[in-house]
Structure 1
Amino acid sequence: MRSRVSIRKPTEDDWQALLVLHQASQEFHFPWAFPALTEEGCKAYIRRCQNDDFEGLLICHRESDRIVGVANLSQIFYKAFQNAYLGYYGSAEFAGQGLMTEGLRLVIDYAFFNLGLHRLEANVQPENQRSIALIQRLGFTEEGFSRRYLYINGAWRDHERWALTVEDWV
């Protein structure tokens, strides 16, 4: 079955669509994610996607080409590690339709087979059950618990550490 979504790198022209998605989904993302809510913030994100150790990918609906979500591969390491951290968030408008699951499958394929990575790690706050269910559907395995791991929304937040290797994906 052909995926209902595709992935692509953002271009300079995407800042407005990202801003609309971020502003319209602000309540949906709270308190887990805080994407840029200004023009400059969205443009800075797109510039960051040009860094060698960061891949930002837009998950787009095939029929309308609208952005349904964003996936980021950050702190990309090669040589003996071949690892990246996977972060993601979706549009409130498209929530519950399985589009992020389809999109993240494409992102994982891209990470393993285009970038040549061996391992992806996703860190999720334990209370974010929708996100945990998503990475479980994708085959990630829980590896541990990181106390006060990331500073989010004014406090250091605990995270569950989940990972997926290429051997588990193929």
Structure 2
Amino acid sequence: MSLRVFIRKPTKEDCQELVSLHRRSEKFHFPWAFPPLNEQECKNYINCCQNEDFEGLLICHLTDHKIIGVANFSQIFYRAFQNVYLGYYIDVDFAGQGLMSEGVRLAINYAFDTLNLHRVETNIQPENRASINLVKRLDFTKEGFSRRYLKINGEWRDHERWALTVEDWVKS
């Protein structure tokens, strides 16, 4: 399978392109994700990517290098846990083309091979069928249901908990 995307770390030079993507996709992301919508918020995000417990990865189109999505690893734990929480979103203009599956697959490879983690977990609102379908395609296992798990847009929202371990990961 030839890939159509690659991943890379964000830089301050990406702020304008990211803010444009976020503004263009704001309604599409609602109520699942709330990425930075102005330059200062974007700079704060890129600074956060320098923390040892957070990794931000841009998913870029292979042909023109345009940013088409983001995969974030937060609360990176090592030692006995070796776990990370995955969040992701795509530019509305590229949704439904399978590009996010490719990008998240590369991000998971990065988590297991580069970060040397054992487990990737993602928590998804039950109504977010597109996101649940994506993790199913990547062989995540549904592990449970967390009532009022995260406060999103001012409300405590239920989430399904999905996870993948390195032993179950089929790299491609």
Q: TM-score scaled to structure 1, two decimals?
A: 0.99
**1:1-170 to 2 correspondences below 5 Å:** 1-170=1-170
For 1:12-54, what per-residue CA distance to the aligned partner results, in whole angstroms no more than 9, with x for missing partners? 1000010000000001001111111111001100010000000
Per the TM alignment, residue 154 of structure 1 is displaced from its structure 2 partner at its CA by: 1.2
Query: What is the SS of the residue equivalent to 1:3?
Result: coil
User: What letter matches 2:14 in structure 1?
Assistant: D
Identity within the alignment, %: 69
User: What letter matches 1:91 in structure 2?
Assistant: D
Query: What is the SS of the residue equivalent to 1:80?
Result: coil
Query: What is the SS of the residue equivalent to 1:86?
Result: strand
Q: TM-score scaled to structure 2, two decimals?
A: 0.98
Q: Distance in 1 between matches of 2:104 and 2:35?
A: 18
Q: Which runs of 4+ in 1 moved over 3 A?
A: none
Per the TM alignment, residue 111 of structure 1 is displaced from its structure 2 partner at its CA by: 0.2
Aligned-residue CA RMSD (Å): 0.6
Per the TM alignment, residue 2 of structure 1 is displaced from its structure 2 partner at its CA by: 2.2
Query: What is the SS of the residue equivalent to 1:112?
Result: helix
Which structure 1 residue ranges, 5 or more long, are not aligned?
A: none
Which structure 2 residue ranges, 5 or more long, are not aligned?
A: none
